[in-house]
Amino acid sequence: MQLSLEGQTLGKYRILEPLGRGGMARVYRAYHPQLDRYVAIKVLRPDLVEEEDFPTRFQREARHVATLRHANIVQIFDSDVEGDLYYMVMELLEGDTLKARLNDYRVRGERMPWGEIVRILLDVLDGLDYAHSEGMVHRDIKPANIMLTKRGQAVIGDFGIARMVGGTRYTLSGALMGTVSYIAPEQGLEGESDARSDLYSLGIVFYEMLTQHPPFEGDTPLAILMKHVSDPLPLPRQIDPEIPEAFERIVLKALAKRAEDRYQSAAEMAQALRDAAREAGIALVDRISQPLSFTTRDAPAEHVTVISGAARQKLQDAGFADDATDITLGKRLAVAQETGTQNPRGPQARNKEKPERAPREERKGVGRAIFTALMLVTTYNLLAVMFSGITRWKLYTNGWPIQLLVGGIGLCIIMITTRNRWLLIPVGIIIGNGIIFSYYAVTHNWELWEFFWPLEPILIMITLGITIYWPFRGQDDSKIVQSIGSALAIASFALSGLVALAAIIAP
């Protein structure tokens, strides 16, 4: 573990105070006496630079990053090594990170203004467009790496760090995975990354700015990564209908699973964003508003929001701040794949309480749904027996398919509660048979069965087909499952009433 360098001298620089720390480095505020200039120094963790080719890679990447000259990219002044400490010297920016700004809005229960969202994204896209034209891919775009300065600009930090530490490839068996919540599918699984991978990561940032949280979350890094690869994107406007439709289109294209389906350049995405803002009637602001608060007295580098008590309860997911780049994630994911555990946990996760297999309230809800379904079937049978005994109603002779419909309603209740689309298979087959046999039981046209029996395999194939090849990809599964379950339950209840009436008045 790297000790604090506060008060020491590193090369020509006097270390004054720590400004922050992440998964790959610590950042200090420092002073250059000859130039009379305050700077920020990023010192890489010593345990990350043990590879034999690291010194060569560090020098190469540091030189490359130092050539970048753009208003929306943090300027690198110098880089050097002292003992086992590899460090980069960069301009000291006053402001806070986008991550801190979003945290502040979450705590306040507010949303960043549309115009500021567009301004931030356009600044980042301008910086990325320049860097990509110079052959540099960031590989770790996330809110914590986007500074919002007092000059009213969004500035990208940490260019080159990911490549320095992780080498040239970023696979499951390699060292670096980046920040898994913001990583592109091809970067996570295949180790391939280019300009379009950065645009995917920025698309995740855009999604979070619109909805207050990233689109894919899970208990383990591998679970999140696999959602990037295969899960449909929850639509932003289903989360918040006030989000402009034009913005949603930008997100959908930026977060396409295949790189060739995304924006092919930062300039293309920037133009699409300007067009979307114009379509939505959103005026572009010239500069970003001042940071909401600061933490250091003289030259703050990152605002730190203390979230506790009632403020913490306002957050949908208090773990949103755990987005430090994890350079050991790749190796742990590889081990997880080999062992089948799918639970690679790093130092941060080891200190967290092990999550329950299912939230307690959710388990209670499922239990209540199953109990309700059983009580529904039991109650119907008791009432049918009672009324059949004291009347001449032929509920069992002519109305026996009601048993299937009532059973289907019970399964619909469980389906609505669990939001599990796979329950559509038994629900569809049981209710479908209830409909088919209701016709025969009421009309007594059993001679038609020899012509209509193929309805059975057709019903099964349709139900299996819809469930397996789910046609609602890219939409909120849970809401659609609940809507389908509710519709089937209402239809079954109405048909049960009609069959019961037919059985009662039958001669």
Query: pLDDT (tens digit, 9 = 90+) per residue, 235-274?
Result: 999 999 999 999 999 999 999 999 999 999 999 999 999 9
Higher pLDDT, 380 or 199: 199
pLDDT of residue 179: 74
Q: What is the pLDDT of residue 312?
A: 36
- At 296, the pLDDT band (50, 70, 90 cuts) reads very low
Establish whether 140 is a catalytic residue.
yes
Q: In this structure, which amino acid lies at residue 326?
A: D
pLDDT of residue 180 exceeding 80, the answer is yes
Q: What is the pLDDT of residue 418?
A: 83
Question: Average model confidence (pLDDT) for the chain?
Answer: 78
Q: What is the DSSP string of 5-36?
A: -TT-EETTEEEEEEEEE-SSEEEEEEEETTTT
Residues in a beta bridge with 265: none
- What whole-number percentage of the chain has pLDDT above 90? 24
Please give the pLDDT value at position 338. 54
Q: List the 76-82 sheet strands across, edge first.
A: 9-10, 13-21, 25-32, 37-44, 85-91, 76-82
Which is the catalytic residue, given 140, 158, 198, 323?
Answer: 140
Helix (H) or strand (E) run with residue 132 in it: helix 114-133
List the single range of 7-16, 151-160, 348-357, 359-368 with lowest mean pLDDT.
348-357
Question: Token pair for residue 305?
Answer: 């929001």
Q: Where are the beta strands (DSSP E) in 98-218?
A: 146-149, 154-156
Please list the alpha-helical segments (H only) found in 259-328.
Answer: 266-279, 309-313
Share of the chain above pLDDT 70, in %: 76
Residue 421: its pLDDT value, please?
83
Q: Which residue has the tokens 């930026």?
A: 254
Q: What local confidence, expressed as pLDDT, does residue 334 receive?
A: 55
- Note the pLDDT of residue 128: 95
Does the structure show a pLDDT above 90 at 130? yes
**Can you tell me the mean pLDDT for 467-493?**
80
Confidence of residue 198 (pLDDT cuts 50, 70, 90): very high
Candidates 1.10.10.10, 1.10.510.10, 3.40.50.2000, 3.30.457.10; CATH matching 95-347: 1.10.510.10
Residue 164: is its pLDDT beyond 90?
no
Question: According to the model, what pLDDT value does residue 401 have?
Answer: 84
Which region among 23-37, 108-122, 447-461 has the lowest average model confidence (pLDDT)?
447-461
Count of residues in the chain: 507
Cα dist from 435 to 96, 139, 430, 468, 488, whole Å: 62, 56, 9, 23, 11
Least confident of 120-134, 135-149, 304-318, 409-423: 304-318
Residue spans of the domains in the chain: they are 95-347, 360-505
> Of 72-81, 123-132, 471-480, which gets the smallest average pLDDT?
471-480
Which is it for strands 85-91 and 76-82: parallel, antiparallel or unpaired?
antiparallel
CB 205 within 8 A of CB 213: no
pLDDT at 70: 92
pLDDT digits (tens, 9 = 90+) for 407-455: 889 889 988 888 888 888 999 899 888 888 888 777 777 777 777 778 8
429-431-432 Cα angle (round to 5): 60
Q: Hey, which bits of 106-214 come out as E strands?
A: 146-149, 154-156
